[in-house]
Amino acid sequence: MAMTLSAIRSSPSRLPLYVAVQALVALACVFVLRLDLPRPPPAYRAAVAEVNEGGVWRPVAFPIDRKARSEDPPPVDYRIPFTLPGNAPEETWSVLIPRFSTGVQLFINGTLIEDTLRDPATSRPDRNVPVISLIPPALLVPGPNVLTVKLFVWGPVTGYVDSVYLGPDSRLRPSFDRRIALFETFPLLLISLQATLSLVFALIWVSRRQDAIYGLLAAAMGIGVVQNFIAMPAALPLHGFIAASVSIEGALMVMFTMRLVGLRSRPALWLVLAPGMLLLLMGLSGSRALLQRGYLLLGPTSVTLSVLAVSALLGWSAVRRRDQSSFLLGSVFTAVIVASLHDLLTVMDLVPGERLFVGRLSYSLVLVTIGIGLTWRFVHALNEADGFASKLVRQVREAEEKLRQSFVREEERARSEAMTAERTRLMRDLHDGLGGQLVSIVALAEQGQDRGAIGEAARAALKDLRLVIDAMEDIDGDLMLVLGSWRERISAQLRAHAISLRWEVLSPGGLPAISGLRPGHVIQIIRLLDEAVTNAIKHSGGRTISVSLDSLDDAEGRACGRITVSDDGCGLGEDDGGPVRRPGRGLANMKKRAELCGASLSLISDAAGTSVVLTLPAVLPDAP
């Protein structure tokens, strides 16, 4: 009620429109319900009938509404006399009852010609299925004949027999066929579609448990499908299930609609299932009279209240939120309200005319309509998801293309920077090494020095040039390839000074492959080793220089390289009887070069000679 008042205050202009539309829908439904259904010509309607009560026949008029007067009432016999004209054409006659419940048997002159109890589809109290039976010509006699209608009553709904028609089959059959199409074929199509949608929504709910709306609708549809195929007569618990099914379906629809309009569901809402549960318990109690009274009290009332609640929720959503789907469904549920009220008044015998139950038919139609709407919404959501996925794929492709172009530009920039850095390094190496040597040669030539000094300077320049060229080779981290060329150079250098070279490889393979080894590192390492050999030649006074190559593991277990240059000279003691020598700029330069390569340098000197130990890391820095 609070929601309705809020909707009135918030949308005063939309509420009258909504109410007016619902009023028009209700009037249209009343008009449709008051339309005459297909019937044979009035001339074939039986006008006289009698009922057998306690062995006494008394007059009665059709339609007949018979209540069960005991737990297991016996069938009631109705006798209808009719006359077959003696000059009637040879044409097959039929008996037509446009509407009956719950079960009938037809006898012509005491012979059974129809038993609806054999067809469960026609024996349900809530069905509007007609019955027609051909009368074998051998059973009819010219003149007076008797049609006996035996009525069986069970369940909470009273037995009912509409007007009875007797006449040629060709005159009665057309109205029967139209009623079959309206009250049997059409409902069967609806229930088949309802079963299909129920299965579809159940599968959706199983895969998407967070969408309870599909589970509730699947349960409501499934209960309707199951109760539709229960045959009559049946055990009392099944009567209870049929009586409770509509109430339970209505309660589930209330819960479904709350989620449909976006309202939060509270635990107390499950109380709407209470009437249906009570009817189930009454069916299990074993008392047919209790079930009948309980159904008349709870069944139509709970269904009507559920439909009213659903209509109120849809009206609130249509008015307050201006939801078009709620506006449409609200109009549909208005038709269900009219149909439910019609059935309620029919049960109470307050509706004149033929006794028809249209609530179940209209409710199934609404369920199918909602199911189709939800299916369309689900398909629309899938289409939107596919569209979004396609858009996302397109955006990802565009982003990948931009990223690829960015990578190409980055690679070009990195290549350009690498070339610039290599060009700069090469210029610096040539300037620091070969350039200085050439300047010295020019200076010696200008000073008129002898050829020996100029040749020595030229050889030093050539050695530096070879060093730069060797450093440019692609050695893939294998320093041993460069050390092989270096060994040849220092061998020639040492032979010129009458010093022997001792080359030792202490571990298999010598030095391990060093990650990140670049030309700049190679030049620094070779110049460091040249400096160590030159110092040994100039200051050690030894006759043998040893170079040992070894592999060891660092603190992290990675393979490192170690190069040791040692001599058998006098160490850092007195030099030719002079004072004790101290390390000069040569050792400082070697340590600087080692630091540039991320390596460590140590000096060991005693009376047996001097050793320079260079320990190379497993991974060299990016640039020296």
| This prediction's pTM | 0.58
The end-to-end CA distance of the chain, in Å, is 83
Q: What's the pLDDT at 388?
A: 87
- Asked if pLDDT for residue 150 goes beyond 70, the answer is yes
Residue range 92-130, pLDDT digits in tens: 899 999 988 888 999 999 999 999 888 766 667 777 889
Residue range 236-250, pLDDT digits in tens: 788 788 888 888 988
More confident of the two residues 135 and 53: 135
Place 5 in a pLDDT band, splitting at 50, 70 and 90.
very low
Q: Which two tokens stand for residue 317?
A: 């959503």
Q: What's the pLDDT at 596?
A: 83
Q: What's the pLDDT at 127?
A: 78
Say if residues 231 and 120 touch (Cβ distance below 8 Å): yes
Q: How far apart are CA 176 and CA 98, in angstroms?
A: 7
Residue range 530-565, pLDDT digits in tens: 888 888 888 888 888 899 988 888 878 888 889 999
Compute the residue count for the chain. 624
Q: What's the pLDDT at 208?
A: 84
Q: What's the pLDDT at 165?
A: 95
Looking at the chain, the whole-number percentage of residues with pLDDT higher than 90 is 13
Q: What's the pLDDT at 434?
A: 57
Q: How far apart are CA 533 and CA 610, in angstroms?
A: 11
CA distances, 303 to each of 113, 191, 298, 309, 576 (Å): 39, 19, 8, 10, 123
- Asked if pLDDT for residue 455 goes beyond 50, the answer is yes
Q: How far apart are CA 542 and CA 449, in angstroms?
A: 30
> What is the pLDDT averaged over residues 189-210?
88
Domain extents in the chain: 2-37+185-388, 42-177, 475-624
- Asked if pLDDT for residue 430 goes beyond 80, the answer is no
Burial letters for 246-283: b for 16+ Cβ neighbours within 10 Å, e otherwise?
bbbbbbbbbbbbbbbbeeeeeeeeeebbebbebbbebb
More confident of the two residues 423 and 526: 526
What is the CATH topology of the domain spanning 42-177? Answer: Jelly Rolls (2.60.120)
- Asked if pLDDT for residue 166 goes beyond 60, the answer is yes
- Asked if pLDDT for residue 578 goes beyond 60, the answer is no
> Which range is most confident: 229-238, 411-420, 443-452, 519-528?
519-528
- The closest of 563, 562, 561 to 512, measured between CA atoms, is 561
Residue whose structure tokens are 């209808």: 80
> What is the pLDDT averaged over residues 452-459?
64
Instruction: Looking at the structure, give the CATH architecture of the domain made up of residues 475-624.
Output: 2-Layer Sandwich (3.30)
- Asked if pLDDT for residue 161 goes beyond 50, the answer is yes
Q: How many helices and strands (H and E) does the chain possess?
A: 15, 17
Residue range 397-412, pLDDT digits in tens: 998 888 888 888 888 8
Residue spans of beta strands (DSSP E) within 397-519: 500-505
H-helix or E-strand containing 442?
helix 436-446
- Asked if pLDDT for residue 427 goes beyond 80, the answer is no
Strand-pair category, 111-115 with 103-108: antiparallel
Place 496 in a pLDDT band, splitting at 50, 70 and 90.
confident
The whole-chain average pLDDT of the chain stands at: 81
Domains 42-177 and 475-624 in one fold: no
Residue range 513-526, pLDDT digits in tens: 888 777 778 878 88
Q: What's the pLDDT at 7?
A: 41
Q: What's the pLDDT at 51?
A: 92
Interior CA angle at 113 toward 109 and 115, to 5°?
A: 125
Q: What's the pLDDT at 11?
A: 45
